[in-house]
Amino acid sequence: MANLFFIFFSMILVNNYVLVKFLGICPFLGVSKKLDSAFGMSCAVIFVMVLATAVTWPLETYILDPNGLHYLQTIVFILVIAVLVQFIEIFLHKYMVALYNSLGVYLPLITTNCCVLGVCILNFTNEYSYLEALFCAAGSGFGFMAAMVMFSGVRKRVDAANPPECFKGLPITLVAASITSLSFMGFGGIMNSIFGIAA
């Protein structure tokens, strides 16, 4: 049990998907301008990440690996994710209209987003069991949310500032992101001390 929470929290703080692993930078820089869009996007990402892991993990463990078809991982995973996201969009549009109105516009963006495919592949690089993989996916999603929400606050302040002309817009945002990422480096090793698990 402690192992699961260790994985969950380490994904949020220590191995943060955006600020440490550099997955999902495009939406991080693009959608974090306003707080509500940042929050909406990260909710959609958590949702898709967990569902995608739930489907791809058994697929790889029980069908691809035993038959020595590990090389098909990329193709099969991305097809499954594309189908899953499209299905979720249709489902939400019909049955959960309120949720569709708030999250729906971000769903097509998540299909071609590195973070979802990244978490599915990393589950196998780290050799997690099914439950561990689900916790890892949920943790990555919440880490994404933490980074996005924090950064939208940082951006609001940065956008009102007056940097040199050549830094205005994207460059100063990137510098702000580097300082945000620097702050997350302080969490290194914290999970090991809390949960008493060796690195």
Partner 1 sequence: MAENKSKLSIVTNGIIKENPVLRLVLGTCPTLAVTTAVSNALGMGAAFTVVLICSNIVISALRKVIPDKVHLPCYIAIIATFVTLVQMVVQAYSPSLYTALGVYLPLIVVNCIVLGRAEMFACKNTVLDSALDGVGMGIGFTLTLTAMASIREILSAGSWLGITIIPESIDRFTIMGSAPGGFFTFGFLMAMVILYENRTNNKIKRSIGCAGNAEEEA
Partner 2 sequence: MNTIVLAIIIVTIVGLLGAAILVAAAKFMAVYEDPRVGEITAVLAGANCGGCGYAGCADYAKAVVEGKAPCDKCAPGGAACSAAVASIMGVGASTGVPKRAMVACSGSNDKCKQKFDYQGIESCAAAAMVSGGPSACAFGCIGKGDCVAACKFDAIHVVNGVAVVDRQKCTGCSACTVVCPKHIIFMKPLEEKPVVECSNKEKGPIVMKECTAGCIGCMLCQKNCPEGAITVTDFVASIDYDKCTGCGICTEKCPKKVIYFVDGKPKTAPNEAAPAEEKAN
For 135, phi then psi, to 5°, come to -65, -35
The yes or no reply on residue 34 touching partner 1 (CB under 8 A) is yes
Contact pattern from residue 62 through residue 81 relative to partner 1, giving x for each residue in contact according to CB under 8 A and a dash for the rest:
---------xxxxx--xx--
User: Exposure pattern of 132-145 as b/e (b: 16+ CB <10 Å)?
Assistant: bbbbbbbbbbbbbb
The yes or no reply on residue 129 touching partner 1 (CB under 8 A) is no
Which CB, 40 or 141, lies closer to partner 1?
40
DSSP string for 42-70: HHHHHHHHHHHHHHHHHIIIIIITTTT-G
CB 136 within 8 A of CB 6: no
Among partner 2, partner 1, none, residue 166 binds (CB under 5-8 Å by kind): partner 1
Rounded Cα distance between 159 and 124, Å, is: 40
Rounded Cα distance between 75 and 190, Å, is: 36
Among partner 1, partner 2, none, residue 90 binds (CB under 5-8 Å by kind): partner 2
The yes or no reply on residue 153 touching partner 1 (CB under 8 A) is no
The yes or no reply on residue 173 touching partner 1 (CB under 8 A) is yes
Rounded Cα distance between 87 and 91, Å, is: 6
Residue position matching structure tokens 């620097």: 182
- Contact residue for partner 1 among 94, 98, 160, 165 (CB under 8 A): 165
Residue type, 21: K
Residue position matching structure tokens 């480096």: 185
The yes or no reply on residue 160 touching partner 2 (CB under 8 A) is yes
- Contact residue for partner 1 among 3, 5, 22, 150 (CB under 8 A): 22
Residue ranges in contact with partner 2 by CB under 8 A: 59, 63-64, 67-69, 72, 75-76, 79-80, 82-83, 86-87, 90-91, 93-95, 160-162
Residue ranges in contact with partner 1 by CB under 8 A: 19-27, 29-31, 33-34, 37, 40-41, 71-75, 78-79, 82-83, 105-106, 109, 111-114, 117-118, 121-122, 125, 164-175, 177-179, 181-182, 184-185
